[in-house]
Structure formats: C-alpha cells, structure tokens
Chain A
C-alpha cells in the first residue's frame, strides 16, 4: 500500500509539472488529496500495525498524525486555490507540487520505522518546504529560503552525526527502531548523550524549538499563509513524531534522566523565546509562529517530565495542530482583507468579518489554554506532573512565562478585533467558506477539550505502550 501511495504521489506531482493551465493543476491537486484521504482511511481501517516496504510501519503514532495531515492539507489546498487565484501558472504549479511533496515526505516520516529513513525523509521535507518559502520571489522570501535550506541542511547533517553514533550499538547496521530498542541500553553513556544532543539539535529546526527555531519562524513568515498552516502543523508534527521515536529509545537507556533534563531545559528556553518575541514582533504570521515555538516548548517539557505528561504532550501536539491551522487559515483571510499582516496597522476586524472574529477569539482562547480548550487539558496534566515530580522551580518559571504569553496573546487579539484603523477593507469581499473552514478546525479542538472520546484516549495510551 505504501508503494502505491508513494508512486501515485510522485506521479501526480510529476503530472502537475507538465500541466498547462490552472484548472489542470487544480484537478491534479484534487486527485492527490483524494489519494491522500483514501490512503489515510485504508491505513486506519485495514492496515494498522502492518510493515510496508521494510522501512515503514503503520503504527498508531503515525496513523494519528496522518489523519491530521490529511484533513489540514486538504483544507490548505482548497484555501490555496482561493488565496492564489491571481497567481501566474509557473509559481502556481511550483507551489502545489511543493505542497504535495511536503505532505508525501511528512507521511513517510510519520510511518518510518528506521532511524536513517526518518532522517532521509526529514531532509526531503526541507527541499519541499523551500519551494513553498520561495513562492513570493521577493527579497525577504529569498532570504528566508536561503536561511531555511542552509540551517536545516546543517542541522540535519548534525542529526546524521547522532544517527552514526547510535549506529555503533546497532547489530549489523540495522537502524530500525525495534532493533535499536533491544540493544541501545548496552551503548556507551557518553556516546548516547552526544547522539541525543545532535539529534535534538537537528530535529529542532522542524519542531520549531530551541536552538534552531528561527528558520521555522522565517518559513512561516515568507510562505503563502495557507502553506504556513501546513508548515506549523504538518511539518512540526513530523519533527515531533521523529523526536518521539528517539525519545522512546532513550527511555530504555541509563541516560534517560539526563535526556529528560535536556528536554526540559530546551522546553523552558523555547517557552522563554516565545514569551519574549510574542511581545516584540509586529507581524501576525511571525506572532503565531512564535506561539508554535512556545507550545512545542511546553510539549518538550511534557516529554522531559515523563509519566502522564507524555500523554499530555501527544494530546497537546494534536490539539495545537487543529487550533494553529485554523488560526492560520483565518490569518490568510485577514491578510487578504487588509493587504498587510502588520499588527500595528490592522484592527476593527469585528466589523469586517464577524464569524472570522469569533473564530480568532475562539482560536486565541484555545491557545491561551483556557477552558474549554483542549490545550487546557494537556497543560493541566503537564502542570500536575510538574507538581508531582516536586520541581517547584519549573512550576514558577512556567507560570511566569505563560503569564507573559497570555498578556501578549490577549492584547494582540483585542487590538485585532476592536482597535479603530483608518485602512479601508473594502477591496476584498470576505469568503465565507474560507472563514468557516478555519472555524470548524478550531471548534473541533474545543470539542476535544469538552469531551475526550474513549477511543482517542485508548489510542494515545496504546502509542505509549507500543
């Protein structure tokens, strides 16, 4: 099944390159996302826990994020057609090919059962994302593309050093996670620590956390906004799945407590970066990209704490994907209406688009982790684990930093909704479908906050057990 999916995906992307009109590109795009949805449904219904092509396994962790990818990328594709309707053919084609290849490589990362194969497809996401970032062909998009390709390539090269160090414990060069799990505890602790550090640094450019978070921020800024929704969710999730698999390996080693400390430290620094730059930035896309850094920082803290916080971390990533994609889809609409993303130039949105305003309000309340947001549940569980583990310094630091985050988010939201501005918003009519699609995604995260279905809880628990 994986072979068929990869073949179809590459074939459709290839045909897109040959397309001679926008309509042909759109038709091929619908074909691609139909294949993506059929593939996701097949994995969920029939092929769970089966091994494919030796290097892929349809496990629960990958299946969950594939479901999210299929929904978010389909909405992003439909929104992109509206967002780029005045675009000329060549950049339109390049954009949709890059988006399709990004989804394909992220899917391969989700299901990869081998450390080296994960590495290869993570690098493939870099190349696909570069096509999206360079779409604007402006000086800033050129700068962002250079920084993204260069820093990601260097970071992923460092991750490869970590892979090489881990391969010293592998039997006969077998780098499958299952094989490594059996032997990793016998590894030299010093080499294991260095390997983890290299891998974390490499993956941080995808996860948008400290230390290589800046490339993710620039990518979100320069890419067309529907693509930013994919970058800050689908791509970030690819980084998370990769880290989660390595984390589960290191949980079996004597250096686990050291690894936990490193994750908590990186998490705290990421939340600090988010808290500081949410206040400083004057651009809505960068603003919500820093919010991703802050949220993924909380996820790293959850992983570092262990116990129930690992469950919370997975739940947090899932809910964050729904909320953040919904917000970015709304931000795309805001950008079109005002012709700018500058925070100090935009306001009075409530009188321009009421449903969009409700959507942004709900999305921001969700990001603030206030009830009934799903992020409230996950952050509550993480705080509970902080208290249980007796790390009061961490509790204090997190509370202070999250207060800054709450202030920045609330202040910017009120400004967006109510601040009187002199800019005219008459040139663009509000697209109801675009607003509704973002709203539904955010609403689904709120529903998850109100009630967590038993099957989902069992699903996540089975990931932790597997």
Chain B
C-alpha cells in the first residue's frame, strides 16, 4: 500500500511537467495532500492521539483542503486559466523531469545506501524538491511559481519522513503556520499582481534592476 502511494506520488510529479491548465495544478496539489496523509498514517508507528491529530491537521486540513481552496480562490479572482507561456516546450519538460527522476535515483543510491535513511522516501523527496525547482525555472507565469513552492514544501515533508526524526510539536505547528501564512501572502500578492498585469508573467516583473 505504502509503495503504491509512493509510486502514485512520483506519477503526480511527472504529470506536473505536462499540465496545461492551472486548475489541474491545484488538483494535483490537493491529491498530493491526500497521498501524504496516507503515507504519513502508514509510516507513523507512534499511536499517541495528538501525533495523529497533528498529521491529519497538517496533511488533510492544510495540504489537501485549505491550500487548494486558497489557490482556487486566486484562480477565480485573477481569471487565469492556461499555462501557455512556458518558456520550455512540454515534451522537453517531461524529458527534463524524467532526467531529474533518474538523477535522484542515482544520487540516492550512492548517498544513502549505507545510512539509516529510508532510500525510497529520500529519493522521492529529492525528486519532489527538484521538480518544484524545475517548475519555477521553466515556467513564466507567477502562479506556476507558487505551485513550484508548494511542491518543494511537500518534498521537504517527505524528506522529514525519510530521515525519521521527531521534531518538537510546537515547532512543527509553527512551521505549518509559517507555510500557510507564506501561501496566504503570496496568494494576496498574486491577486494584486493579477489586477495590474493581465498575463501575470515574470517578464512583467523586471522594473527592479540596475
């Protein structure tokens, strides 16, 4: 079951590179939230109720429900629809994404094979972080960059699972709130940018230079 979820997660990351509509991005982000919930519950051996409650709060409430809701609101408010101003062709993006997947497997094999880290989780986490960066680099629209940020953030969540460390709860909650606040602020900024620049391309944001 766990392996199936991880494979599905990798497929969702691959699919990100060929998406052409912003609504599909939000769907994938919500889906990843559900998958992370499943992965976390299956991985969490501790049976304390508050640990389970926190995982549900973080993955289901925030990642699968609240963040997609904010993103949908931004889409409605700005009226953006298609991801048609990618600076790299879709086929090339897919090839790059697959290349990153291969690179992640190789790096994980050589870096983690003799360590206590979980190789599968580590590899997928690395791939997620790289995918988020790829999304930011290859897309011109600002909304795609926000999605890239969330993909990286999900990768960091998986990374924490790969390492298997226990962080204090106060800090976990603070981190979660930080991310929520960041997304809220970015959403607000995007909404304002959307009212000023019709296409919301990063090309519009070039007035600050020397």
Q: Taking beta carbons and an 8 Å cutoff, which residues of A are in contact with B? A: 114, 116-117, 119-120, 123-124, 126-127, 130, 134, 139-140, 142-147, 149-150, 153-154, 157, 160-161, 164-165, 167-168, 170, 172-173, 175, 188, 190-191, 218, 221-222, 277, 280-283, 286
Contact pattern, B 135-171, Cβ under 8 Å of A = 1, otherwise 0: 0100000100110010011001001100101111001
Asked if A153 and B210 sit within 8 Å, CB to CB, the answer is no
The interface stretch among B25-33, B36-44, B82-90, B177-185 is B177-185
Judged by a CB distance under 8 angstroms, whether B193 is at the interface is yes
CB within 8 Å for A149 and B174 given contacts A167-B167, A173-B167: no
CB distance from B50 to the nearest CB of A (A): 15
CA–CA, A127 and B129, complex, Å? 23
Asked if B208 and A143 sit within 8 Å, CB to CB, the answer is yes
Q: Which of B117, B142, B149, B207 is within 8 Å of A154, CB to CB?
A: B149
CB distance from B75 to the nearest CB of A (A): 17
Asked if B168 and A116 sit within 8 Å, CB to CB, the answer is yes
Asked if B189 and A149 sit within 8 Å, CB to CB, the answer is yes
CA–CA, A146 and B136, complex, Å? 14
Q: Which of A117, A157, A172 is within 8 Å of B153, CB to CB?
A: A157
Return the chain B residue nearest A286 by Cβ: B210
Q: Which of B142, B163, B185, B208 is within 8 Å of A127, CB to CB?
A: B185
Asked if B178 and A124 sit within 8 Å, CB to CB, the answer is yes
CA–CA, A170 and B165, complex, Å? 9
Asked if B163 and A168 sit within 8 Å, CB to CB, the answer is yes
CA–CA, A130 and B165, complex, Å? 32
CA–CA, A144 and B209, complex, Å? 11
Residues of B within 8 A of A119 (CB): 175
Asked if A116 and B167 sit within 8 Å, CB to CB, the answer is yes
CA–CA, A16 and B152, complex, Å? 36
Asked if A167 and B193 sit within 8 Å, CB to CB, the answer is no
Residues of B within 8 A of A142 (CB): 189, 192-193, 196
Return the chain A residue nearest B206 by Cβ: A143
CB distance from B200 to the nearest CB of A (A): 10
Judged by a CB distance under 8 angstroms, whether B80 is at the interface is no
Judged by a CB distance under 8 angstroms, whether B186 is at the interface is yes
Asked if B210 and A140 sit within 8 Å, CB to CB, the answer is no
CB within 8 Å for A147 and B205 given contacts A142-B193, A153-B186, A173-B167: yes
CB distance from B162 to the nearest CB of A (A): 9
CB within 8 Å of A: which of B193-209?
193, 196, 205, 207-208
Q: Contacts A146-B190, A160-B156, A173-B167 known; list 18 others, CB within 8 Å.
A: A116-B175, A119-B175, A123-B182, A126-B182, A127-B178, A139-B207, A142-B193, A144-B208, A149-B185, A157-B156, A167-B163, A173-B165, A173-B166, A173-B168, A175-B171, A190-B111, A280-B210, A283-B210
Judged by a CB distance under 8 angstroms, whether B115 is at the interface is yes
Return the chain A residue nearest B197 by Cβ: A139
Asked if B189 and A146 sit within 8 Å, CB to CB, the answer is yes
CA–CA, A22 and B159, complex, Å? 48
Asked if A164 and B156 sit within 8 Å, CB to CB, the answer is yes
Chosen A-B contacts, 9 in total, with CB atoms closer than 8 Å, are A127-B181, A134-B189, A139-B207, A146-B186, A147-B205, A147-B208, A153-B149, A157-B152, A175-B168
Residues of B within 8 A of A165 (CB): 163
Give me the 4 closest cross-chain CB pairs, A-B, nearest first. A281-B210, A173-B166, A120-B174, A116-B171
CB within 8 Å for A120 and B175 given contacts A143-B205, A144-B208: yes
Residues of A within 8 A of B175 (CB): 116, 119-120, 160
Contact pattern, B 6-17, Cβ under 8 Å of A = 1, otherwise 0: 000000000000
CB within 8 Å for A188 and B115 given contacts A160-B175, A164-B159: yes
Asked if A149 and B163 sit within 8 Å, CB to CB, the answer is no
CA–CA, A157 and B153, complex, Å? 7
Asked if A149 and B205 sit within 8 Å, CB to CB, the answer is no
Contact pattern, B 109-134, Cβ under 8 Å of A = 1, otherwise 0: 00100011100000000000100000
CA–CA, A130 and B182, complex, Å? 10
CB distance from A399 to the nearest CB of B (A): 24
CB within 8 Å for A150 and B149 given contacts A142-B192, A164-B165: yes
Q: Which of A127, A172, A175, A283 is within 8 Å of B182, CB to CB?
A: A127
CB distance from B186 to the nearest CB of A (A): 6
CB distance from B34 to the nearest CB of A (A): 22
CB distance from B199 to the nearest CB of A (A): 15
Asked if A277 and B168 sit within 8 Å, CB to CB, the answer is no
